[in-house]
Amino acid sequence: MLIRTGDTVEVITGASRGTRSRVIKVDRTVGKALVEGVNKVFKHIRRSQKHPQGGRLSKEMPVQLSNLKFLCPACGSPTRLGARFLKDGGKERFCKKCNASAGQIAPAKKAHETK
């Protein structure tokens, strides 16, 4: 689960297939992500003081992380992400297609440093 909040992803299955959008929130315990404008549903709201009109509220529902592919900023294509250690001992995400870095995961540790 290397996809993070703020990443641009492409939906690979479902009704919103092919949609490219930004990740709003990631729930790692359930393995789902909330993606902007994807998997929209209507929530029916009863009249109240907060909603005097009532009606239908459109909102996004979470999508399985397995149904999303990361969009690499370097090559611009949907790809898988990998994790690797750097020479200083830090850990980073990288694009499996073009081998470009996609940001750091963990700070440098002495134990993972290569000599």
The pLDDT assigned to 109 comes to 84
pLDDT in tens, 49-72: 988 999 999 999 999 999 999 999
Structural domain tally of the chain? Answer: 2
User: Are 43 and 91 members of one domain?
Assistant: no
Domain at 57, CATH number: 2.30.30.30
Specify the residue for token string 């993606």.
35
The answer to whether the CB of 23 falls within 8 A of the CB of 4 is: yes
The pLDDT assigned to 114 comes to 81
CA dist 20 and 57 (Å) reads: 23
Q: What is the pTM of this model?
A: 0.81
The answer to whether the CB of 51 falls within 8 A of the CB of 41 is: no
User: Are 13 and 56 members of one domain?
Assistant: yes
pLDDT in tens, 94-112: 999 999 999 899 888 888 8
User: Are 23 and 4 members of one domain?
Assistant: yes
The pLDDT assigned to 107 comes to 87
Closest CA to 9 of 81, 104, 103: 81
CA dist 102 and 61 (Å) reads: 26
Domain end position, chosen among 55, 71, 87:
71
User: Are 7 and 52 members of one domain?
Assistant: yes
User: Are 47 and 62 members of one domain?
Assistant: yes
- Determine the structural domain holding residue 112 and report its residue range: 76-115
